[in-house]
Structure 1
Amino acid sequence: MKEENRLAKFLDGSLSDAEKNNWEQDPDKELYEQIKRYSADLSVPSNTADEHLLEAIMNSKAKTVKKMSPFRSSRWLAVAAVLLCVFLGGWLMWSSEAVFQAPAHAALQVELPDGSEVLLDKGSKASYKRFTWLLQRDVKLEGDAYFAVERGQTFTVETTMGTVRVLGTRFDVLTKDGNLSVHCYHGKVEVQQAQEKMLLTAGQSLRLDDGTWERDSLFLQEPAWKADQLLFQSASLDQVVREMERSFAVTFKSSTQQVAGAQQFTGKLPTSDLEAAIHIIEKAFSISCRKLADNRYVIEAK
């Protein structure tokens, strides 16, 4: 420690006279002289340059690369998702349908949004668009149905064979075997097929068969099938049998190709009593129906 103090005094020139005399006798004098000479050439570096550099950095405007912020990007994605949902929701509402299907062996009563009523016959199907109903009362029908329509805008029933337009009326539409039959019980009905139109008033019926229009008088106040009856007018045995199979869920098979010949049947059959209906057609067509199983019958000539 004493030697370090003496060296420090030597370097800064604060040695006393006595210490100088002793220093002259020091064997390491030459080495210390070199240290002093070199240290004198050294200087503490100035901080001015560094300060200027720091100030330049602090005062300079950083160059930034423009990037879309994650928040803005996510906001646009959210907007796009909302618009997509609105579009899909509107399309679904516009195109969605209410569909009604009557079971195979029972009629189905349906009330429409405007209070109009539809009675679907067994196995028949009807549908309408929910969203546009109040603007356009349009019902699509597959099968047979009786309509009691409330007054309002035009009421339209669309079938594959033709279109029926009404305004405040009661009527039924039957689509069987590729034919279209319309019976008007009250009010007026307009039937259109292709470019041809026909107007029916209460008590009139119309049958469209292979492009031929057949107008007739209507003697019933409501459809026979609504009262659990099948109504036939000049029907062949095959036509009667098909209706019975649909109504009673049974199967008829003829033992010969021409059992009933050209005979036709006009009348009513009960849909609540199979045996009674069979008894009626046996007399009408002079045939015999032999039961094979619970739901199978063979038709034979008498």
Structure 2
Amino acid sequence: MNKEKLIQKWLDNELNEAEFNQLQQLEEFQDYKKIAETAKQFKAPNFDKKESFAAIKSKLVQPKTKTSWTKHIARIAAIFVIGFATYFAITYNSATEIQTMAGVTEEITLPDESHIELNAASTLSYNKSNWEDKRLINLKGEAYFEVAKGKTFTVETSLGNISVLGTKFNIRQRGDFLEVTCYEGLVKVVTPFEELKLPVGESFQLIGKTSLKQSISSAKPSWLEGVSSFRSVPLQQVIEELEHQYNITITLKKLTFDTDELFTGSFVHNDLKTALKSITVPFNLTYEQNNTTVILSERE
């Protein structure tokens, strides 16, 4: 587990014994411990700036010069600000962010027992402190949700918001592409261009300003089983998803057609050569691979 996650879990009192032992091995652990212990001494709700300043001022010995007095006040104020800011950050900033690397997925359980599968190269964040009052997720990338029944559950993306009460659905948001698929219940989708309710068995796509609704027959998104599937999706989006799944960089060379051409098909996540053939053959392309770089070009 990386350092940031260890520290976050420690502040939330969620570390197990093995993780705590790992945290103690960090060189900075004693510094973190001192900051946390010091921050507990501050009582933010009862903080009165006038009274605190008066108390500090009354305990100071009058300095000989104006410059000395100013330095004393500046130092004390700095200590106060740093301590109070540390206390505020530790106590109130309980935002949780989870980020997956290329080729890696992660399963997440939320405080209400809702479940999320986060696809590769994706980022998800939410706030634990007010989760019971506001079930709000921020998503960049792709994720599959199984939402426990309760208050409105909202997923924010850069292209629109998706709201439900309790259901199963998938969201893919990459660049100017948004796709929402409902597998159970009813999903509300709000974009800058339209608002609609998506019933089970339907998928909604937004590409730029163009939207499309389609019927689906699957019970879950195929990427959960290691296959990325697409229906009428721009080739550019397919290429980028391939990069996310295999942690590679794809370069296009001398293409005579636009990568906005639509692709319907799929590629597997466990065999790069097979995956590359799946997207190159339909467009009469060939590929050259050099370690983590792949060049796509048209066949002569």
Q: TM-score, normalised by structure 2?
A: 0.67
- Per mean C-alpha deviation after superposition, the further-off stretch among 157-166 and 273-282 is 273-282
Conserved in 2, the CA contact under 8 Å of 1:102 and 1:122? yes
**Closer/same/farther in 2, CA of residues 144 and 263 from structure 1, 3 Å limit:** closer
Structure 1 position 297 matched with structure 2 position 279: no
Per-residue CA deviation, residues 138-174 of structure 1 (Å, 9 max, x unaligned), is 1111111111100111111011111110011000111
- Residue in 2 that maps onto 1:138: 136
Structure 1 position 147 matched with structure 2 position 145: yes
**Closer/same/farther in 2, CA of residues 255 and 180 from structure 1, 3 Å limit:** closer
- Per mean C-alpha deviation after superposition, the further-off stretch among 276-285 and 124-133 is 276-285
- Residue in 2 that maps onto 1:170: 168
Identity among equivalent positions (%) equals 28
Distance between the aligned counterparts of 2:207 and 2:87, measured in 1? 42
Question: By how many angstroms is 1:95 displaced?
Answer: 3.9
Question: By how many angstroms is 1:86 displaced?
Answer: 8.6
- Residue in 2 that maps onto 1:265: 263
Structure 1 position 288 matched with structure 2 position 286: yes
- The letter for the 2-side match of 1:296 is T
Conserved in 1, the CA contact under 8 Å of 2:250 and 2:294? yes
- The letter for the 2-side match of 1:180 is L
Q: Which runs of 5+ in 2 are unaligned?
A: 1-53, 60-78
Conserved in 2, the CA contact under 8 Å of 1:230 and 1:271? yes
Distance between the aligned counterparts of 1:214 and 1:117, measured in 2? 27
**Closer/same/farther in 2, CA of residues 259 and 162 from structure 1, 3 Å limit:** closer
- Residue in 1 that maps onto 2:110: 112
Pick one of 200, 203, 216 that aligns with 1:218. 216
**Closer/same/farther in 2, CA of residues 239 and 131 from structure 1, 3 Å limit:** closer
- Residue in 1 that maps onto 2:200: 202
- Residue in 1 that maps onto 2:38: none
**Closer/same/farther in 2, CA of residues 260 and 193 from structure 1, 3 Å limit:** closer
Distance between the aligned counterparts of 2:214 and 2:193, measured in 1? 21
Per-residue CA deviation, residues 261-281 of structure 1 (Å, 9 max, x unaligned), is 885421111011111111222
Distance between the aligned counterparts of 1:195 and 1:86, measured in 2? 44
Distance between the aligned counterparts of 2:259 and 2:166, measured in 1? 43
**Closer/same/farther in 2, CA of residues 263 and 168 from structure 1, 3 Å limit:** closer
Distance between the aligned counterparts of 1:87 and 1:176, measured in 2? 35
Pick one of 242, 248, 251 that aligns with 1:250. 248
- The letter for the 1-side match of 2:233 is A
Distance between the aligned counterparts of 1:144 and 1:227, measured in 2? 14
Q: Which runs of 5+ in 1 are unaligned?
A: 1-71
- 1:240 partner SS: helix
Conserved in 1, the CA contact under 8 Å of 2:236 and 2:260? no
Count of aligned residue pairs for this structure pair: 228
**Closer/same/farther in 2, CA of residues 105 and 200 from structure 1, 3 Å limit:** same
Question: By how many angstroms is 1:294 displaced?
Answer: 1.5
Q: Once superposed, what is the RMSD of the aligned Cα atoms?
A: 3.0
**Closer/same/farther in 2, CA of residues 263 and 136 from structure 1, 3 Å limit:** closer
Conserved in 2, the CA contact under 8 Å of 1:263 and 1:285? no
- The letter for the 2-side match of 1:247 is Q
Question: By how many angstroms is 1:228 displaced?
Answer: 1.2
- The letter for the 1-side match of 2:181 is H
**Closer/same/farther in 2, CA of residues 202 and 160 from structure 1, 3 Å limit:** same
Distance between the aligned counterparts of 1:301 and 1:223, measured in 2? 31
- Residue in 2 that maps onto 1:188: 186
Q: TM-score, normalised by structure 1?
A: 0.67
Distance between the aligned counterparts of 2:195 and 2:261, measured in 1? 32
Per-residue CA deviation, residues 173-226 of structure 1 (Å, 9 max, x unaligned), is 111121211000001100112374210111111112223332111222111211
- 2:238 partner SS: helix
Conserved in 1, the CA contact under 8 Å of 2:100 and 2:119? yes
Conserved in 1, the CA contact under 8 Å of 2:193 and 2:209? no
Distance between the aligned counterparts of 2:224 and 2:259, measured in 1? 30
- The letter for the 2-side match of 1:299 is L
Higher-Rg member (1/2): 1
- 1:143 partner SS: strand
